[in-house]
């Protein structure tokens, strides 16, 4: 759903009736219902504003995504992470909220990134 802002910008939200299926199909229905009514809108500028510097060009990168993500196609995730030279972790059957539905797998990647980066020179 698209919402106009007073400054002329746009915000986007997912319709509550399709939220569970499209955003977080691998979590309980009651949790998805709460997330649907409490979602924060996505600012339209986030879809078009370019980053000034791509940090992945100079730093190690890790990426985690679910193979059942219906918000961002898993192939797009894979292509982007491969282009960055990221250490990729695919979580089979996970939705867009892989960090909620598979927290142990995501935490393991984060801990690997932390320990690797902690060993790098400042």
Say if CB 95 and CB 26 are below 8 A apart.
yes
Residues in the chain: 122
The average confidence (pLDDT) of the chain is 94
Provide the CB-side half-sphere exposure for 42 (13 A, CA): 12
pTM for the model stands at 0.84
pLDDT on residue 120: 86
> Contacts by 16-21 with C-beta closer than 8 Å and gap 24+?
21/70
Q: How confident is the model at residue 79 (pLDDT cuts 50, 70, 90)?
A: very high
Q: What's the average model confidence in pLDDT over 73-94? A: 97
pLDDT one-digit tens code per residue, 35-77? 999 999 999 988 888 888 888 998 999 999 999 999 999 999 9
């Amino acid at each position: 759903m698209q919402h106009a802002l007073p400054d002329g910008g746009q915000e986007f939200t997912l319709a509550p009736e399709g939220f569970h299926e499209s955003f977080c199909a691998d979590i309980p229905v009651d949790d998805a219902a709460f997330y649907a009514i409490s979602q924060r809108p996505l600012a339209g500028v986030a879809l078009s504003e370019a980053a000034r510097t791509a940090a992945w060009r100079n730093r190690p990168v890790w990426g985690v995504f679910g193979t059942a993500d219906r918000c961002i196609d898993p192939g797009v995730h894979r292509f982007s992470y491969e282009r960055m030279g990221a250490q990729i972790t695919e979580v089979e059957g996970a939705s867009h909220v892989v960090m909620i539905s598979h927290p142990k797998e995501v935490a393991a990647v984060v801990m690997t990134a932390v320990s690797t980066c902690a060993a790098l020179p400042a």
